[in-house]
Structure 1
Amino acid sequence: MSLHDTNPRQPAQPKRIALVIANPAVSTTTGWPVGFWWSELSHPYHVFTEAGYAVEIFSPAGGRCEADAMSDPNDASGYSRHDLISQGFIHTPSLLAQVQATRPVTDIDLAHFDAIVVAGGQAPMFGFEHATALHTVFAAFYEAGKVAAALCHGVAILAYVKDSHGRYLASGKTVTGFANVEEDFADQAVWDYGLLPRGTHVMPWRIEDRLKALGANFVQAGAWRSFAVRDGNLVTGQQNFSGEATARLVIEALGR
């Protein structure tokens, strides 16, 4: 028997997480290239692997994925410079390779995984509407009683996912996601820096407004506060500072 065999963080049959990041897209409102957000991948990945879980990375279409620039701790903006967890992920070749060659969500075997977690970034707002295979697999996890989770703009998936009865999955559920107060902040920032004309919004629609219109009980903790909420086996996280909180609720829902 090796030390690896006796490591309590590496159980013989670990919980398995399908972690989905967005494929690259182009914003229809700004014309900018958009992608996933590093901390919404790296922070949950860190929490899950520290708990002894096995994590595999997928994207709706598979292939190479690109992150939103400001989420990179090495970006000139300095916005994410303190994100040491993402820094570690980016500089670990075996982990970075998984982002550069993601598997498509059609490869997700429901029987093989205990939970699906959909990360955000800006790209979900422009690419998830037509990601029908992701809609299907997300609903399948939920209806099988497995954990279905989404984070930040990844919660955009709930604007499209319906259950087997044709009802929106978000209807009647308590959820969170990127909040209007945060969208207001983002819009004001790009106006102040002269990146967009005043009155032009960064996002084509808002998660809080859309999910409320679908009958969800949308809750949030205020701008840029770490926050996640669980409603049965549905877990949602508010924004890019909520990756750890989201992952810990997934672990709670799985019973460790």
Structure 2
Amino acid sequence: MAPKVLVVLTSYGEILDSAGKPIQKTGWYLPEFAHPYDVLSPKCEIIVASPKGGTAPLDPNSLQPWIKDDSSSANFFNNKKSLWEYTSKVSDFLGRVDEFDALFYPGGHGPMFDLATDKDSIALVNQFWAKGKVVAAVCHGPAAFVNVTLPNGENIMKGKEVSAFSNAEEDSVGMSKYMPFMLEDKINEKGAIYQKALPWAPCVRVAGKLITGQNPNSAKGVGEAIATALGV
């Protein structure tokens, strides 16, 4: 039987300023789902969830230049819309971890605003971890781990090599001032051993069952690391 991977996308689609005025659309980032999907889908069953269920917003800023220059992203956008337009709720999967082999969080700025604090997502990560399942994320996806406290009282990332979107990358896209926290700083605060490459260079870290990647160009490598961990 093929391994089953639960992919959790953000439900957060619009960044607001301090007065509640919309600044720009956001969501999950196209290649960060497309590239791992291409690696995993021939070998695994992929199920998709989000905090609210229904359509998980795709960050429009991730369409260009990826659709133009990246065949994986273009094919995924054109042919796989049902994956993100009909997601189940994260809460539907609580208590069902035995049905799955891995949990994966793509990035985009959205996870910084909902998955970082979503109680159901935090509980889901804890349940996967307790069962010794693979838990993975890329770019801003590791925001889903910053408030995951294990039964021993420690953050899931403590003492582990972890990569995620860097401060330098956040600064370079002009989004630092809009973020609720800086992901690199928060990961360090949680006692992880934060790892990064130069901005936009691939960086993937495997710490036992915890797999993380730095940026969109790390997404394929994260997918490959998940496949290796699953033995497929």
Same fold (TM over 0.5): yes
- Which amino acid counterpart does residue 118 of structure 1 have in structure 2? Y
Separation in structure 1 between the aligned mates of residue 210 and residue 170 of structure 2, nearest angstrom: 23
Q: Which aligned segments of 4 or more residues in structure 1 are displaced greater than 2 angstroms?
A: 28-31, 78-81
Q: What is the aligned length?
A: 226
Corresponding residue for 1:10? none
- Which amino acid counterpart does residue 210 of structure 1 have in structure 2? K
Residue 184 of structure 1: how far off its partner (Å)? 1.9
Separation in structure 2 between the aligned mates of residue 180 and residue 137 of structure 1, nearest angstrom: 27
Supply the RMSD in Å over aligned alpha carbons.
1.7
Corresponding residue for 1:35? 27
TM-score (structure 2 length as normaliser)? 0.91
Residue 202 of structure 1: how far off its partner (Å)? 3.8
User: Is residue 21 from structure 1 mapped to residue 9 from structure 2 by the alignment?
Assistant: yes
Instruction: Tell me which structure has the larger Cα radius of gyration.
Output: 1
Deviations 1:39-88 (A, max 9, x none): 111111110013x1111111122111121112114xxxx46521211211
Residues 12 and 113 in structure 2, CA contact (< 8 A), matched pair in contact too: no
TM-score (structure 1 length as normaliser)? 0.83
Sequence identity (%): 28
- Which amino acid counterpart does residue 252 of structure 1 have in structure 2? T
Deviations 1:173-231 (A, max 9, x none): 110000112112112xx7xxxxxxxxx72423211111111111000111101221100
1:24 aligns to what SS in structure 2? coil
User: Is residue 229 from structure 1 mapped to residue 205 from structure 2 by the alignment?
Assistant: yes
Residue pairs, 1:177-216, within 5 angstroms? 177-187=164-174, 201-216=177-192
Residue 156 of structure 1: how far off its partner (Å)? 0.6
Separation in structure 2 between the aligned mates of residue 234 and residue 206 of structure 1, nearest angstrom: 21
* Structure 2: gaps of 5 or more residues: none
- Which amino acid counterpart does residue 148 of structure 1 have in structure 2? V
Deviations 1:66-124 (A, max 9, x none): 21112114xxxx465212112111221xx211211101112222011100001111111
Separation in structure 2 between the aligned mates of residue 79 and residue 182 of structure 1, nearest angstrom: 17
Q: Indicate the larger mover: 83-92 or 169-178.
A: 83-92
Residues 31 and 66 in structure 2, CA contact (< 8 A), matched pair in contact too: no
Residues 169 and 199 in structure 2, CA contact (< 8 A), matched pair in contact too: yes
Residue 155 of structure 1: how far off its partner (Å)? 0.8
Residues 186 and 202 in structure 1, CA contact (< 8 A), matched pair in contact too: no
Separation in structure 2 between the aligned mates of residue 113 and residue 106 of structure 1, nearest angstrom: 15
Q: Indicate the larger mover: 20-29 or 150-159.
A: 20-29
